[in-house]
């Protein structure tokens, strides 16, 4: 029997999903993206060479891997072609092994214009989106006015529908946001040209997945963002616009819930967040003014915490077990992959948040309202640092005793096994205790 493994981020994204997915593909022949869009930035480092993927599944660097883009993804063909061209420069051909669901909603220039205009209008209350049109594209999907990848195969229908939807968005751009409108004819010409390149890649991805299940193949599902950015279960409204939790694999690819064998939750040994929104364990530090918390600064510098998509500074803070336990429940997590252990190497003391105080009451449950989030006072336990390098260690036995203690503490507090530990950005800088496909 083949095994179906879902990889998700347990925090606010950037946990190191890309590295781990690339690594796990040694035991599969395919990777499926099922939500989000090119707001994602998944980094893979092979022999010092860095590749950042935004929309193409993170198995692409292995030339035998088939890359599938499921119906839950919102797709910018412009971003996709840009990524294909970059890979081609590095002699990686993807078109021959790329399948795109006809049901993916297209991200079009008016989505990007609205995303930007809306963020500008929100001013200091902005979400801090990637301005890639993700939210407005999902809005079109639920409003049942979205254009889908499969519509590109019906040029007359596409042209008519595009005109209608562009008129709608242009009205809003012009009258509500007082922003520049989009020339629908230009958009049409451009996307029809682009469509010629990927036309043959449009395939029924759901059906492909079931064929693989019938053939007893392993399938790897690649989540983007993180559970705390989930539109339903995250820190609303400071979230992305898709279901980033493992359940999103069902709606976003068509695989049934009972077909999932293992959910791997990627957890950074500390916490980061890009963009605005609550972050109870944040160690506030600002790069531009070089002011703020010295440990927040160290985590950011040592962890290279700058956005893979927008280049923005990532906010850093301590590990938050309350948020993680919420995340593990809603994702049906089987095992944890702990990343960036090496980033903590120099710390004297490492803090773990184990409870919140809200309005004088102690709780281990994450609140659901933004008003309560903003009142959280984290309660910490202290763990002694190991003060020695763990970079590249690839066996649990070789870790310093105090690092083992830190890892075991996380396993105790979450009641989950730590199946993988990452000790550097490269493939081989990894400790695999239990491989999800075994």
For ligand IMO, the binding residue among 25, 30, 58, 132 (CB under 6 A) is 132
How many angstroms separate the CA atoms of 91 and 85, rounded?
10
How many angstroms separate the CA atoms of 120 and 112, rounded?
12
For ligand IMO, the binding residue among 59, 109, 146, 275 (CB under 6 A) is 275
How many angstroms separate the CA atoms of 90 and 84, rounded?
10
How many angstroms separate the CA atoms of 409 and 388, rounded?
19
Least separation in angstroms between CB 21 and ligand GDP: 8
The binding track of 6-45 with respect to Mg ion, each residue x by CB under 5 A or -, is --------x--------------------------x----
- Catalytic annotation, pick one of 42, 111, 118, 169: 42
How many angstroms separate the CA atoms of 258 and 312, rounded?
39
Is residue 75 within the footprint of ligand IMO (CB under 6 A)?
Answer: no
Those residues with Cβ within 8 angstroms of residue 177's Cβ, 6 or more apart along the chain or in another chain: 114, 117, 118, 120, 121
What DSSP element (H or E) covers 272? strand 271-273
Instruction: Pick what 422 binds: Mg ion, ligand GDP, ligand IMO, none; C-beta below 5 to 8 Å, kind-dependent.
Output: ligand GDP
Residues at the site binding ligand GDP, with contacts judged by CB under 6 A: 9, 13-19, 41-43, 45, 304, 308, 339-340, 342-343, 422-425
Beta bridge partners of 102: none
Q: CB-wise, 244 or 429, nearer to ligand IMO?
A: 244
Contact, 247 vs 257, CB < 8 A?
yes
Is residue 425 within the footprint of Mg ion (CB under 5 A)?
Answer: no
Least separation in angstroms between CB 132 and ligand IMO: 5
Q: CB-wise, 195 or 338, nearer to ligand GDP?
A: 338
Can you tell me whether residue 166 is helix, strand or coil? helix
Least separation in angstroms between CB 144 and Mg ion: 31
Concerning whether 42 is annotated as a catalytic residue, the answer is yes
For ligand IMO, the binding residue among 58, 240, 325, 414 (CB under 6 A) is 240
Least separation in angstroms between CB 365 and ligand IMO: 23
410: burial class by Cβ within 10 Å (0-12, 13-18, 19+)? Answer: buried
Q: Tell which residue, 70, 132, 75, 139, has the closest CA to residue 105.
A: 75
DSSP string, 363-418: ESS---SHHHHTT-EEEEEEEE---S--TT--SGGGS-HHHHHHHHHHHHHHT--E
Least separation in angstroms between CB 238 and ligand IMO: 6
Which residues inside 219-238 make contact with ligand IMO, applying CB under 6 A? 224-226, 229
Determine the distance from the C-alpha atom of residue 197 to the mean position of all C-alpha atoms in its chain, rounded to a whole number. 27
Q: CB-wise, 19 or 33, nearer to ligand GDP?
A: 19
Is residue 134 within the footprint of ligand IMO (CB under 6 A)?
Answer: yes
Which sign does the torsion angle of CA 388, 390, 392, 395 carry? positive
The maximal CA–CA distance of the chain, rounded, in angstroms, is: 66
Concerning whether 169 is annotated as a catalytic residue, the answer is no
Is residue 367 within the footprint of ligand IMO (CB under 6 A)?
Answer: no
Q: CB-wise, 101 or 130, nearer to Mg ion?
A: 130
Least separation in angstroms between CB 270 and ligand GDP: 11
Which residues are known to be catalytic?
A: 14, 42
Which residues here bind ligand IMO, judged by CB under 6 A? 9, 12-14, 39-42, 127-130, 132, 134-135, 224-226, 229, 240-241, 274-275, 308
């Amino acid at each position: 029997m083949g095994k179906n493994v879902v990889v998700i981020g347990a925090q606010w994204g950037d946990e190191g999903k890309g590295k781990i997915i690339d690594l796990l593909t040694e035991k599969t022949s395919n990777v499926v993206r099922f939500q989000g869009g090119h707001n994602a930035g998944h980094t893979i480092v092979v022999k010092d060479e860095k590749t950042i993927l935004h929309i193409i599944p993170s198995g692409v660097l292995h030339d035998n891997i088939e890359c599938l883009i499921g119906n839950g993804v919102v797709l910018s063909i412009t971003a996709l072609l840009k990524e294909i061209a970059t890979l081609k420069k590095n002699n990686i051909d993807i078109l021959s092994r790329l399948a795109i669901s006809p049901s993916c909603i297209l991200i079009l220039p008016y989505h990007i214009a609205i995303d930007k205009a809306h963020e500008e209008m929100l001013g200091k209350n902005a979400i801090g989106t990637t301005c890639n049109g993700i939210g407005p594209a999902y809005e079109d999907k639920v409003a049942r006015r979205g254009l889908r990848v499969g519509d590109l195969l019906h040029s007359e229908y596409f042209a008519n529908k595009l005109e209608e939807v562009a008129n709608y968005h242009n009205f809003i751009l012009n009258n509500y946001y007082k922003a520049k409108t989009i020339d629908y004819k230009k958009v049409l010409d451009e996307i029809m040209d682009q469509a010629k390149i990927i036309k043959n890649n449009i395939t029924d991805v759901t059906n492909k997945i079931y064929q693989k299940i019938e053939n007893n193949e392993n399938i790897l599902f690649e989540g983007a963002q993180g559970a705390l950015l989930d539109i339903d279960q995250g820190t609303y409204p400071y979230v992305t616009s898709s279901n980033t939790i493992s359940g999103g694999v069902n709606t976003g690819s068509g695989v049934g819930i009972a077909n999932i064998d293992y959910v791997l939750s990627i957890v950074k040994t500390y916490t980061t967040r890009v963009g605005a929104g609550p972050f109870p364990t944040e160690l506030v530090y600002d790069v531009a003014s070089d002011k703020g918390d010295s440990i927040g600064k160290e985590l950011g510098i040592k962890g290279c915490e700058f956005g893979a998509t927008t280049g923005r500074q990532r906010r850093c803070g301590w590990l938050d077990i309350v948020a993680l336990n919420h995340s593990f429940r809603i994702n049906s997590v089987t095992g944890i992959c702990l990343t960036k252990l090496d980033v903590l190497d120099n710390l004297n003391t490492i803090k773990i948040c184990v409870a919140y105080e809200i309005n004088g009451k102690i709780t281990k449950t994450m609140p659901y309202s933004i008003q309560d989030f903003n009142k959280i006072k984290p309660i910490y336990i202290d763990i002694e640092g190991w003060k020695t390098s763990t970079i590249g260690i690839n066996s649990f036995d070789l870790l310093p005793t105090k690092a083992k203690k830190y890892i075991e503490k996380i396993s105790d507090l979450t009641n989950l096994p730590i199946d993988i530990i990452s000790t550097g950005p490269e493939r081989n800088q990894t400790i695999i205790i239990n491989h999800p496909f075994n």
